[in-house]
Amino acid sequence: MTVFRSNKQIYVQLIDDLAGATLASASSKGIEEGTKVEIAAKVGADIAQKALAAGITEVVFDRNGYLFHGRVKSLADAARNGGLKF
C-alpha cells in the first residue's frame, strides 16, 4: 500500500510488487466536504473496503518518505479501522 500526497489531493494504491500490478486504488478527487485530514480518513476507509472486497487483509504501508502525521496518519488509521492489518 503506497501513499502519494500533493498539496490538494491524496492518493493510495495497493500494488502487487511481484506482478507489478495495481490491485486497487483510491483518491480524494471528488471528495470536497471536510478538512484535508478528514478527507484522507475517507480515502483510507475507501481503500480498506476495496481491499477487503478483493480478498486483501494484510498490507505493507509505504508512506513514500512523508512524515507519519496529519493526512498520512489519518489515512493509515482509517484503513486500520476498516480492517486492514499493517
Q: State which residues form the domain around 10.
A: 2-81
pTM for this entry: 0.93
* Tally of domains within the chain: 1
The CATH number covering residue 50 comes to 3.30.420.100
Lowest mean pLDDT among 9-13, 29-33, 76-80: 29-33
Residue 86 falls inside a structural domain: no
All 3 cell numbers of residue 47? Answer: 481503500
Average of per-residue pLDDT across 38-64:
97
Which ranges of 1-86 does DSSP label H, i.e. alpha helix? 36-53, 71-81
**Confidence (pLDDT) at 62:** 96
pLDDT category of residue 40 using cuts at 50, 70 and 90: very high
Report the alpha-carbon distance of residue 14 to residue 21 in Å, rounded.
9
